[in-house]
């Protein structure tokens, strides 16, 4: 491309390469969804259609961006985890974050009619913000995922009790808020059970656990050993090449795997132990 006297402006662009060899989490969140959910009369506390739409958009993001190993969604937010070896856009933060946000938003709007056929989208259209956070260790990353899933549980128990007090208990929102102020989880469970005969454990898993999007492979049976990818193990060059080819094959197989949505616990070790490829 020809140089021009204007070319110097390029130097104003700041580098924003994300630290190498760290797990990248891009979290997106709906802008003003409190209002947005009221506009389209989302069912409270949980509108299943809205969650299914979020999940559909996230599946599309994983399809479009194979570097993402797992994603987790609750309410109007989704966290996308890029493998620590990810080299997409040379790990430029703004390119990664903006691509995730716009891909997600595009699919959210594209699929809206499937889930809300009776309510066409009108201006202002839904939009999402996004940020990237880096986690240097698997423990940090797992703690991040656990943090979001615990948040899901705490919020859902609160919201379920809050809306039951209103919808079935005839309370005003302010009354319900007051009734719940300072209550522990056990007390909320008790309110639901003794006053409304609702066993919180029987609520749908998607509401209690949130949504995990990942590529579907055969699960590893608990107890069977899985060879860890140990960079320091004493392997011959040939062995290393062999396992590299195997790794490459595995990667390709996984890239083709079906993308599924699950609503299970990922705080306990079992989830990660049965899916060793996720963090290897």
Contacts to ligand ATP by CB under 6 A: 29-34, 37, 42, 44, 46-47, 50-51, 75-76
The encoded tokens of residue 87 equal 């080299």
Closer to ligand ATP at the Cβ: 34 or 258? 34
Closer to ligand ATP at the Cβ: 106 or 138? 106
Q: Which residues of 123-147 are buried (b: 16+ CB within 10 A; e: fewer)?
A: eeebbbebebebbeeeeebbebbee
Q: Which residues pair with 215 in a beta bridge?
A: 259
Chosen residue from 42, 77, 99, 100 binding Mg ion by CB under 5 A? 77
For the bound state, the minimum distance from the C-beta of residue 77 to ligand ATP, rounded and expressed in Å, comes to 6
Q: Does 93 bind Mg ion (CB under 5 A)?
A: no
Using DSSP, state whether 151 is helix, strand or coil: helix
Residue by residue, DSSP assigns 54-96 as: HHHHHHHHHHH-TTEEEEEEETTEEEEEEPTT--GGGGBHHHH
Helix runs in 168-236, H state only: 173-180, 185-190, 196, 205-209
For the bound state, the minimum distance from the C-beta of residue 50 to ligand ATP, rounded and expressed in Å, comes to 4
Tell me if the bond preceding 124 is cis, omega within 30° of 0. Answer: yes
For the bound state, the minimum distance from the C-beta of residue 263 to ligand ATP, rounded and expressed in Å, comes to 14
Q: Does 30 bind Mg ion (CB under 5 A)?
A: yes
Helix (H) or strand (E) holding 230: none
Contacts with Mg ion by CB under 5 A: the residue count is 6
Q: Which stretch binds Mg ion (CB under 5 A): 75-83, 136-144, 156-164, 211-219?
A: 75-83
Chosen residue from 29, 47, 64, 273 binding Mg ion by CB under 5 A? 29
The item of ligand ATP, Mg ion, none sharing an interface with residue 47, based on CB under 5 to 8 Å by kind, is ligand ATP
Q: Which residues here bind Mg ion, judged by CB under 5 A? A: 29-30, 33, 75-77
């Amino acid at each position: 491309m020809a140089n021009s006297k204007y070319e110097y402006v390029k130097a104003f662009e700041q580098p924003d390469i994300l630290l190498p060899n760290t797990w990248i989490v891009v979290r997106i969140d709906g802008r003003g969804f409190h209002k947005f959910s009221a506009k389209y009369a989302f069912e409270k506390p949980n509108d299943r259609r809205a969650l299914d739409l979020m999940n559909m958009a996230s599946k599309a993001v994983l399809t479009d961006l194979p570097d993402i190993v797992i994603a987790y969604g609750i309410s109007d937010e989704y966290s996308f985890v890029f493998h620590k070896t990810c080299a997409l856009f040379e790990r430029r933060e703004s390119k990664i974050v903006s691509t995730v946000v716009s891909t997600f938003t595009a699919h959210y709007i594209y699929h809206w009619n499937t889930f809300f056929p009776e309510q066409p989208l009108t201006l202002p259209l839904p939009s999402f913000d996004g940020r990237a956070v880096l986690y240097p260790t698997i423990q940090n990353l797992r703690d991040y995922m656990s943090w979001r899933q615990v948040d899901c549980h705490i919020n859902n128990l609160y919201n379920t009790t809050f809306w039951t007090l209103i919808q079935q208990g005839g309370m005003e929102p302010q009354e319900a808020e007051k009734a719940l102020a300072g209550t522990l989880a056990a007390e909320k469970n008790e309110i639901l059970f003794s006053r409304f005969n609702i066993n919180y454990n029987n609520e749908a898993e998607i509401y209690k656990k949130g949504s995990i999007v990942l590529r579907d492979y055969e699960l590893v049976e608990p107890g069977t050993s899985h060879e860890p990818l140990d960079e320091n193990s004493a392997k011959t060059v040939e062995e290393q090449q062999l396992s590299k080819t195997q790794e490459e094959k595995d990667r390709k197989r996984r890239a083709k795997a079906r993308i599924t949505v699950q609503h299970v616990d990922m705080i306990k070790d079992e989830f990660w132990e049965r899916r060793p490829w996720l963090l290897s």
